[in-house]
Structure 1
Amino acid sequence: MPWQSPISPGVSWYEDMMTERPDYVPLSGSTDTDVAIIGGGFTGLQAAYNLALAGVGVTLIDACRFGDGASGRNGGQLGTGQRWSPEDLEHTLGFERSKALFDLAEDAKAYLLDFATTHDIDIEYVPGQLNVSHKKSYEKDYRNSVEIAATRYGYPHQSFMELEEIVSRLGSTRYLFGIRDTGTGHIQPMKLLVGLARQAALAGAALHEQTRALKINRTGGRIVIETNRGTIRAERALIACNAYIGDLEPVTARHVMPIRSFIGATRILSDFPAILPDGEAVADSRFVVRYFRKSKDGRLLFGGREAYTADNPRDISDHIRRQISEIYPSLATVEMTHAWGGSVGITLPRQPFVREVMPGVTSIGGYSGHGVMLSNYCGKLYAQLITGNRSDLDLFRDLNIPAFPGGARFRPALLFLALSWYALRDRF
């Protein structure tokens, strides 16, 4: 279950702003379906929507409520391309595959925005993202990245920002330079999630909350999913649990590791007009990324803490406020109205995990903090794969995603050591 904030118990700012969040009844008894989906986040719901639209029988279950996982609680930034820059991917995959993955991500961005527009879902989209650096040594890479994106990847929407522009756009002197990206932006993710679930139900998908998958087997040529509410029998199944896989399926659990991430919301900052005056989102150059943006009503939404254990810090609002004050000293005592967290699914190379983990059962996840647009699109691509249409899902399925070392017993400790080392490098 997502972490419950002592400030606003169990409720993110996103959820607090929702005027409507429908309930979907739990599964009751046994059912037969063409495709069973475990996980009611962006991936699962997009797959359900597109499958139902194509006339495929689909039953989706989620252990909690839709949006209680990362899809309803994330930072809301879309980004551009994959988790790593195209030039970094090019070093390991070659230009052709790197370009194909970049183009896929751009298709994903367009699909998400078109989906929201077509279905009249007010996702509160605001254009613009600033990628800023806290280290002088990154300047050459930042300048090269803008040129490479434009000349080699056909993406002309980025520009290099000198210090003066950084200060003007952020209202802070904390960062040295950066990249402005006008071809992307940020959204209110819970609004997208709720609207997507509504469309999936209208298309004919059977959606069930509060239904926990306990076991997956293959019996008599069919997939059998045992839940706490009954049994689902299907021809195919999609596991879309991402960081919340637990011990449901061992292959996914070896390849997708949950880490905790936390976000805080300040009071409305009408008295600080110099802070992000154009409403653009920000992500910095730390390995443990600090990401923040203004909400449409003028709050600062700030994510800046990852935890590599299952524990939840008691001082999350104070911790986030301290990080805010490093960037905006004038906000050192600002009131925090909300603080919340949840689990993010990462893979060892920070690239999505797509694999058939048993006959007829596909698992998709591990978006590694870059999942708002990729998760939605992967759900659509999975549906295309099932309906026999051309699908680019193989671009992810062909990636080399090794398992985390150490096994179930030692993997969390090894991950903690490795990521703590990178966090230490961020400081010095």
Structure 2
Amino acid sequence: MPQDARTARSAMPYWWDAAPPRSLPQAPLPAKVDVVVVGAGFAGLSAALVLARAGRSVAVFDALRPGEGASSRNGGITSGNIRPSFAAISKRFGEKVALGIEAEGKTAREFLYDFITTEGLGCDYKLVGNFKGALGYDQYDIMARAAETLSKRLSIDTYAVPHAEQQGYIGTEFYRGGTVRMDIGGLHPGKFHAEILRVTLTAGVDVHGETRVNGISRDGTGFRVATARGAVAARQVLVCTNGYTDGATPYLQRRLIPVRSRIIATEDLSAEVMDRLMPRRMMMGENRQLGYYYRPSPDGRKILLGGRDASRRGDPLEPTLRLKAGLAQIFPELENVTLSHSWFGSVAMNRDMLPRLFEHDGILYATGFCGSGVVWAPWVGSRAAHRLLGDEAGQSAFVSRAPAAVPLYRGDPWFMPAIIKGYAFQDHMAMRRARR
């Protein structure tokens, strides 16, 4: 029977074809360690690696197979984006704060690239640049001014692309120009996580997958971490659960909203089509509330496009259809393309929409990456490790108070469909204004 053109051949992440999460051998739990890390994604493993190489005994716990959450489900774009725009942060906190955050983003990207190179992580990484489309000429002007500021003040390789030159970057007339950042690239997140796991295990870290943490309590000068397989004593605890935070850390759960993000992958496209639609094989994005992010696959044969998913249960068809319609809006010739994959995962949002590194009741939290965890999770995770070690390298623009709790929220984001519909309406009105 032929594939229904509305659906995808696989509901598993495209990345899992080459690098599926694996179950680790179930080793005995240690009675006591220096540090327990909760969460075996990019952040948790990056922190554990720093700690182990500094001579600390470390045990990492994850309720799923290591990397089965957002670390192997994301788009693999090394954007280091901050959800509020540079202009919005400048208006709210001042240009000095905005520049400080952007400067740390530059450092975090450089850290990631150095980490991949130094450790020899085979993850299909390419520094190809990122094009971000403007919906209208007014928006283009704002984006162009921000790019000019970042180029002059922080020496970031970024510049504006007027509409007349757009076709040299992306084969669409949907945008009215855009900006390019050449310090952004792409990688294979499944392979990236597998490689971080490899070097972390080699460093002597005990990683316990499929071992849920049920609670963390004070125990004298340290902590007692209760897991599904027994309890472990620890001097220090670091929580890096992000979009997969559960009731084991209720303080954090009240402050992070898990939001579904979905990605679709097209069937293999011809080289001629790829040359026309993505001539420079850049990473791509756009400037709207529910903006899409998209990219070529590492082998250059597919287009992967992602965006927010308003569903909360199961795996309904509608979010896939919405993304497919978005793909056709940008690239009309792909209206009838078939899909090879459609999958979802959870990202973590907070009320400030900024990554956070904070302490509460002696527990350190590195979390809230707001959909840009490929860069921020390894960076903030490693900063957290240095803070536990008492190093100056633990300083960060994201060291702050905890994000504010969300009123009436205890882990079930029942309100997200309404919020996403509100954002969609804002985008609709913005598009109408931009096209006048």
Common fold by TM > 0.5: yes
In the alignment, structure 1 residue 380 sits paired with structure 2 residue 382:
yes
1:14: which partner in 2? 15
Q: Is the 8 A contact 1:255 1:353 kept in 2?
A: no
Moved more, 121-130 or 272-281: 121-130
Instruction: Measure the CA separation in 2 of the matches of 1:349 and 1:143.
Output: 25
**Cα distance per residue 1:253-303 (max 9 Å; x no partner):** 121100001001111212413010211011111111201000122210111
1:340: which partner in 2? 343
Give the C-alpha shift of residue 311 in structure 1: 5.2
**Equivalent position to 2:284, from 282, 285, 304:** 282
Alignment of 1:124-273 (within 5 A): 124-126=124-126, 127-155=128-156, 157-270=157-270, 271-272=272-273, 273=275
Q: Is the 8 A contact 2:185 2:283 kept in 1?
A: yes
TM-score, normalised to structure 1, is 0.92
* Runs of 4 or more consecutive aligned structure 1 residues displaced over 4 Å after TM superposition: none
Instruction: Measure the CA separation in 2 of the matches of 1:400 and 1:251.
Output: 10
Instruction: Measure the CA separation in 2 of the matches of 1:370 and 1:21.
Output: 20
Q: How many residues align?
A: 419
Instruction: Measure the CA separation in 2 of the matches of 1:134 and 1:92.
Output: 23
Instruction: Measure the CA separation in 1 of the matches of 2:14 and 2:52.
Output: 31
**Cα distance per residue 1:367-420 (max 9 Å; x no partner):** 1112211110111111111222103445212267322233328x7344443342
Query: Residues 138 and 197 (structure 1 numbering): CA distance in 2 closer, same or farther, change over 3 Å?
Result: same
2:432: which partner in 1? none
Give the C-alpha shift of residue 87 in structure 1: 3.7
Secondary structure of 1:170's partner? Answer: coil
Moved more, 366-375 or 100-109: 100-109
Give the C-alpha shift of residue 327 in structure 1: 1.2
Query: Residues 392 and 131 (structure 1 numbering): CA distance in 2 closer, same or farther, change over 3 Å?
Result: farther
Instruction: Measure the CA separation in 2 of the matches of 1:208 and 1:358.
Output: 25
Instruction: Measure the CA separation in 1 of the matches of 2:83 and 2:186.
Output: 16
Instruction: Measure the CA separation in 2 of the matches of 1:187 and 1:168.
Output: 23
Instruction: Measure the CA separation in 2 of the matches of 1:210 and 1:80.
Output: 29
**Cα distance per residue 1:105-137 (max 9 Å; x no partner):** 111111111111112212222321001122333
**Paired amino acid for 1:88:** A
Secondary structure of 1:395's partner? Answer: coil
**Paired amino acid for 1:248:** A
2:334: which partner in 1? 331
1:34: which partner in 2? 34
1:93: which partner in 2? 93
Give the C-alpha shift of residue 224 in structure 1: 1.0
Q: Is the 8 A contact 1:316 1:339 kept in 2?
A: no
**Cα distance per residue 1:133-179 (max 9 Å; x no partner):** 22333122112111111223332x11111123223321111111100
**Paired amino acid for 1:313:** P
CA RMSD of aligned residues (A): 2.1
Secondary structure of 2:246's partner? Answer: coil
Instruction: Measure the CA separation in 2 of the matches of 1:190 and 1:232.
Output: 29
Moved more, 100-109 or 394-403: 394-403
Instruction: Measure the CA separation in 1 of the matches of 2:422 and 2:311.
Output: 12
TM-score, normalised to structure 2, is 0.90
Secondary structure of 1:98's partner? Answer: helix
1:418: which partner in 2? 419
Instruction: Measure the CA separation in 2 of the matches of 1:203 and 1:209.
Output: 17
**Equivalent position to 1:365, from 346, 367, 374:** 367
1:350: which partner in 2? 353
Query: Residues 277 and 293 (structure 1 numbering): CA distance in 2 closer, same or farther, change over 3 Å?
Result: same
Instruction: Measure the CA separation in 1 of the matches of 2:257 and 2:314.
Output: 14
Q: Is the 8 A contact 1:262 1:304 kept in 2?
A: yes
Q: Is the 8 A contact 2:80 2:372 kept in 1?
A: no
Secondary structure of 2:181's partner? Answer: strand
Secondary structure of 1:397's partner? Answer: coil
Q: Is the 8 A contact 1:260 1:310 kept in 2?
A: no
Q: Is the 8 A contact 1:304 1:323 kept in 2?
A: no
Give the C-alpha shift of residue 425 in structure 1: 0.9
**Equivalent position to 1:402, from 404, 414, 421:** 404
Instruction: Measure the CA separation in 2 of the matches of 1:83 and 1:302.
Output: 18
Query: Residues 235 and 310 (structure 1 numbering): CA distance in 2 closer, same or farther, change over 3 Å?
Result: farther
**Paired amino acid for 1:181:** R
Q: Is the 8 A contact 1:382 1:391 kept in 2?
A: no
Query: Residues 6 and 295 (structure 1 numbering): CA distance in 2 closer, same or farther, change over 3 Å?
Result: closer
Instruction: Measure the CA separation in 2 of the matches of 1:407 and 1:193.
Output: 31
Instruction: Measure the CA separation in 1 of the matches of 2:310 and 2:252.
Output: 21
Secondary structure of 1:67's partner? Answer: coil
Give the C-alpha shift of residue 85 in structure 1: 3.3
Query: Residues 103 and 256 (structure 1 numbering): CA distance in 2 closer, same or farther, change over 3 Å?
Result: same
1:313: which partner in 2? 316
* Uncovered stretches (5+) of structure 1, i.e. residues with no partner: none
Q: Is the 8 A contact 1:292 1:303 kept in 2?
A: yes
Instruction: Measure the CA separation in 1 of the matches of 2:395 and 2:315.
Output: 35
Q: Is the 8 A contact 1:308 1:412 kept in 2?
A: no
Secondary structure of 1:407's partner? Answer: coil
1:293: which partner in 2? 295
Instruction: Measure the CA separation in 2 of the matches of 1:53 and 1:43.
Output: 16
Give the C-alpha shift of residue 6 in structure 1: 7.1
Query: Residues 394 and 179 (structure 1 numbering): CA distance in 2 closer, same or farther, change over 3 Å?
Result: closer
